């Protein structure tokens, strides 16, 4: 007989592993089943061994399969209403008139809309050109909501291109105070200035430094809040960039983690612990790797006077406080993880820190 189709065999193997005691074939070890499963997953979904191992370490077998399945499907198209220029209700009405089918994104956001189908290019409507909205993945609302910037504050967005988060910060501050939008890559500055202009943001200064230099440039302890949406391996956005399935290794993850630790310390050094309204840093990545997420924050807890505080986000899973050989500070449960299969968002990590003192 023909060998069963890989996918069918995968499903069968998962079923056995879920209730191993009662379902396994006599004489076949769990290790054998797992090795078979890994081979089938690699064939069917096209991941390298490193990625498959990571998923299987992080989730039950059945849930790892759900995640891989969700990675095959694009996330919904979402947009953020620019409240500097319009209200969500008015924007929705205008777009519906143009043949766009949409809905509010969910009870957790007052400004998001999800687009089901559209008769017009959604990135070229008159409303888009006039800056009434930003096309923006739903997961990238989260870090800004956690940051919760206040009017009249001084805020830094350390890795700002293409400006979705920066413009959201400016809108929450109602164009008051000052936002520094930093981007290390010169070629990406155009995307920020273009979006700032289109959306009518007037409180933002664009700068082009290595984020690690910002405490020297802007001054240590000089700002109220910092958002560090860190450069990362992108293991949370496989549906956008399928090359991640095979291009990442443990070395890449460690390299990212090393840079992220340096950037996070710089972010903390920028913030003034004595700010009357702020003193917060939000750290986020579009990676699901613990080495880029909880491990980076845990490092900062050891090196600086900061504590993890609740993000204020009403959903998402708790951060890990133990993972394989890692043991993290118990407060990391306040961090939040988002997954494609669980929340229909890109894989994402958000953690909020409060600076307790300006002494290192």
CB neighbour list of residue 278: distance below 8 Å, 6 or more residues apart: 149, 150, 153, 223, 224, 225, 271, 272
pLDDT tens-digit readout, 37-88? 999 999 999 999 999 999 999 999 999 999 999 999 999 999 999 999 999 9
CB neighbour list of residue 142: distance below 8 Å, 6 or more residues apart: 284, 311, 313, 316, 336, 338, 345, 348, 350
**Is residue 164 classed as helix, strand or coil in its secondary structure?**
helix
- Concerning whether 207 is annotated as a catalytic residue, the answer is no
pLDDT at 2: 44
In contact, 67 and 341? CB cutoff 8 Å: yes
Token representation of residue 265: 């310390």
Within 10 angstroms of residue 137's Cβ, the number of other Cβ atoms is 20
Sheet with 112-118, strands from edge to edge, namely: 100-104, 112-118, 77-81, 133-135
Among 256, 286, 289, 351, which one carries the catalytic annotation?
286
Regarding beta strands 317-318 and 322-323, do their DSSP bridges make them parallel or antiparallel, or are they unpaired?
A: unpaired
pLDDT at 1: 41
Residues with pLDDT less than 50, the chain: 1-3
Distance separating alpha carbons of residues 253 and 197, to the nearest angstrom: 36
pLDDT at 17: 85
Partners of 319 in the β-ladder: none
pLDDT at 24: 87
pLDDT at 4: 54
pLDDT at 11: 86
The helix (run of H) or strand (run of E) holding residue 283 is: strand 280-285
Distance separating alpha carbons of residues 290 and 232, to the nearest angstrom: 12
The whole-model pTM stands at: 0.95
């Amino acid at each position: 007989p023909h060998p069963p189709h890989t996918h069918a065999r995968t499903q069968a193997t998962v079923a056995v592993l879920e209730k191993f005691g009662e379902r396994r074939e006599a004489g076949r070890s769990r290790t054998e089943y797992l090795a078979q499963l890994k081979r089938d997953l690699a064939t069917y979904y096209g991941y390298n061994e490193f990625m498959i191992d990571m998923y299987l370490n992080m989730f039950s077998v059945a849930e790892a399969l759900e995640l891989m399945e969700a990675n095959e499907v694009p996330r919904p198209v979402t947009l953020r209403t620019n409240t500097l220029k319009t209200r969500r209700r008015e924007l929705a009405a205008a777009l519906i008139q143009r043949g766009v089918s949409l809905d509010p994104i969910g009870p957790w956001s007052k400004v998001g809309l999800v687009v089901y189908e559209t008769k017009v290019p959604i990135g070229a409507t008159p409303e888009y050109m006039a800056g009434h909205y930003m096309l923006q993945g739903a997961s990238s609302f989260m870090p800004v909501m956690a940051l919760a910037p206040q009017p009249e504050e001084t805020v830094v967005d350390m890795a700002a291109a293409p400006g979705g988060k920066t413009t959201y910060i400016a809108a929450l501050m109602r164009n008051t105070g000052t936002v520094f939008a930093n981007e290390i890559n010169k070629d990406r500055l155009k995307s920020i200035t273009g979006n700032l202009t289109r959306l009518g943001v007037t409180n933002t200064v664009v700068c082009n430094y290595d984020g690690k230099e910002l405490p020297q440039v802007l001054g240590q302890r000089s700002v109220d809040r910092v958002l560090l949406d860190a450069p990362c391996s992108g293991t949370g956005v496989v549906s956008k960039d399928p090359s991640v399935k095979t291009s990442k290794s443990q070395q890449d993850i460690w390299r990212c983690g090393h840079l992220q630790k340096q950037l996070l310390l710089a972010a903390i050094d920028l913030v003034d612990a004595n700010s009357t309204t702020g003193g917060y840093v939000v750290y986020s990545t579009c990676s699901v790797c613990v080495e880029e997420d909880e491990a980076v924050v845990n490092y900062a807890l050891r090196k600086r006077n900061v504590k993890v505080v609740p993000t204020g986000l009403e959903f998402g899973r708790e951060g890990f406080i133990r993972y394989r050989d890692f043991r993290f500070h118990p407060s990391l449960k306040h961090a939040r993880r988002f997954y494609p299969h669980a929340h229909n968002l890109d894989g994402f990590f958000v953690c909020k820190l409060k600076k307790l003192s300006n002494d290192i």
